[in-house]
Structure 1
């Protein structure tokens, strides 16, 4: 297929429209439940009050801001895909935001800014009669009449188009890690599957062996590791494919597969990491230096040792506990002396190269 044909076909999978509308119209769409804000696509309210204030200041001063993106369903209702922070800030300010989180946040009280220091302490309406802390009618109307560009992904688009759009808008940004983007997609496709992944990532043996720090937990690194484990066992990795693209596709395929046996995979997952924890504890994915396991968590060891063990689980289950622990420890120690592992796991080795070289041999390398 030629490049021109590929472009034509790809464009047919995404049907878009867009136009400018007032902020007041956006507020009314939300109040009439014609604009849905679901936390499925990104975390709600990650902005602090200073950032919210700067955004409101931009609206008041007429400074342009990026468009919002919505997905229009078959009944014409819009689902917000990107722009949640901006829209929710406006709704919090005007007092129209609904839900438990809105009750927790309360009214938005603005801070002073470099250009508008008198914004300090201001809110949409006065806190009490005569308090003088309301924005006032003229500024309220100016905000409501400000224009925002709305880009619309229409219902005729392909099934995964809104997920693709969300990825393109958010991947690589400072606010969301790649796994947080995937989490949002997983919630949208199959919330039960997402909850299952989180459950796996929270299992004591998994947490212990992967040595998850608080920063890793916050960036959902554990959920990504759990996804990697499940994906590598069930979705063949295509050589040269970007690792994050592979994980994105694997997540969509697994979460959409009605025949995927979560119970069997969960049993394998738990037994694998229970065995690793019993044999090696928090040193499971450290490099053996000839005397000790030391250093940081290594993804290459995780991919070979965990996946290889999971595919040889029956053989390890047939052993007694002492023999099994000794065998797993010996296999972990031996990795640093196996040429194919050493050549494809060091610094400077691309993830695509590592996966294409090591995943196919993981089962054989860890076979008892």
Structure 2
């Protein structure tokens, strides 16, 4: 049967192990560099001290902790796919955790918890003014506590860990771009660093004012990816074969495999030239609706897609004619090429390819 053959084929692509390990053993792996918790994730996941203290409480009380999922790299090192915050909290509490700059993080001082309010102020081995520090016996109990590990072995399909990450974190408190950032860190940390750097360019930030909520959800980095995804688009006017969020993630994964510093598909120079032009000629009004007299309203994602696609595809033309750019961008709001393919009734699957291709043509002349 077709289903049985598909199950058999896919099952052969993923090889897994599972067994418990003591926290003491995991600490040794971390100190030896044999397990990678991707410290860049700490800027994405957001556990507060109360959540961290609750994890230590669970360990002390023997409350079951969800399994840690890791993927074994070809060099034998374990990549943590799910469980970054749990392991990072343990490492920080013990005082061995190093951040994304390889600096030793301040040890965690616990707060009061539901079942152990007396944990307030306790640390691993450096006593505070009140002398609150774990005893030798308490430290031994923690190091002997077991964590359950699920391991994707190195002979598995190379995409298995990324697919697993997406599935495990589909219900997590992450924005779509925060989840993409985690994937990108695992796929290509250099590309992740470059995208994060580009998202802070002054011209870009001036043209794209965002709310604090959007900023906290890594939306600015999503817009950077969208820009390059648009610039590399080679499809037709027909709608995308999948939802746009999935399409962007798939493009990012392919781009990460091709990425080289200062190379395609991340053309930093094109991004810089595009937003320098927009900043100098429109500033924060670059992607706001123009009503014939003035720009108003919030940032428009459809306008971003149309304007950046058109200008970046014709960058030499507009650098030679910057004085005409503002009026051309303002005219977008009455252009049929834009109006008929944007708005609440048009899905991103249909909107994005049409806006990209229409924009390349619309901005191909100054008149």
Structure 1 pair 269–69 and aligned structure 2 pair: CA distance change class (3 A): same
- The answer for the alignment partner of 2:195 in structure 1 is 197
Q: How far has the Cα of 1:88 moved from its partner?
A: 1.9
Corresponding residue SS for 2:151: strand
1:97 matched to 2:97: yes
Structure 1 pair 16–345 and aligned structure 2 pair: CA distance change class (3 A): same
- The answer for the alignment partner of 1:347 in structure 2 is 344
Q: How far has the Cα of 1:4 moved from its partner?
A: 4.7
Greater mean deviation of Cα atoms: 258-267 or 15-24: 258-267
Q: How far has the Cα of 1:229 moved from its partner?
A: 0.8
Greater mean deviation of Cα atoms: 82-91 or 185-194: 185-194
- The answer for the alignment partner of 1:51 in structure 2 is 51
Distance 2:203 2:131 in 1: 58
Q: How far has the Cα of 1:265 moved from its partner?
A: 2.6
8 Å contact kept, 1:40–1:188: no
Structure 1 pair 142–224 and aligned structure 2 pair: CA distance change class (3 A): same
Alignment of 1:211-230 (within 5 A): 211-230=209-228
Q: How far has the Cα of 1:225 moved from its partner?
A: 0.9
Structure 1 pair 278–40 and aligned structure 2 pair: CA distance change class (3 A): closer
8 Å contact kept, 2:314–2:364: yes
Distance 1:79 1:264 in 2: 25
1:301 matched to 2:299: no
Corresponding residue SS for 2:182: helix
Distance 1:42 1:67 in 2: 19
Greater mean deviation of Cα atoms: 75-84 or 32-41: 32-41
Structure 1 pair 26–224 and aligned structure 2 pair: CA distance change class (3 A): same
How big is the alpha-carbon RMSD for the aligned residues of Structure 1 and Structure 2?
A: 3.0
- The answer for the alignment partner of 1:281 in structure 2 is 283
1:164 matched to 2:159: no
TM-score (norm 2): 0.85
Q: How far has the Cα of 1:84 moved from its partner?
A: 1.7
Match of 1:357 among 321, 331, 354: 354
Structure 2 spans left out of the alignment, 5+ residues: none
Q: For each residue in 1:189-234, what CA deviation from the matched residue of structure 2 results, as whole angstroms up to 9, or x when unmatched?
A: 3333333323332322221111244444443222211111111111
8 Å contact kept, 1:287–1:336: yes
Corresponding residue SS for 1:149: strand
- The answer for the alignment partner of 1:146 in structure 2 is 145
Q: How far has the Cα of 1:55 moved from its partner?
A: 1.1
How many equivalent pairs are there? Answer: 360
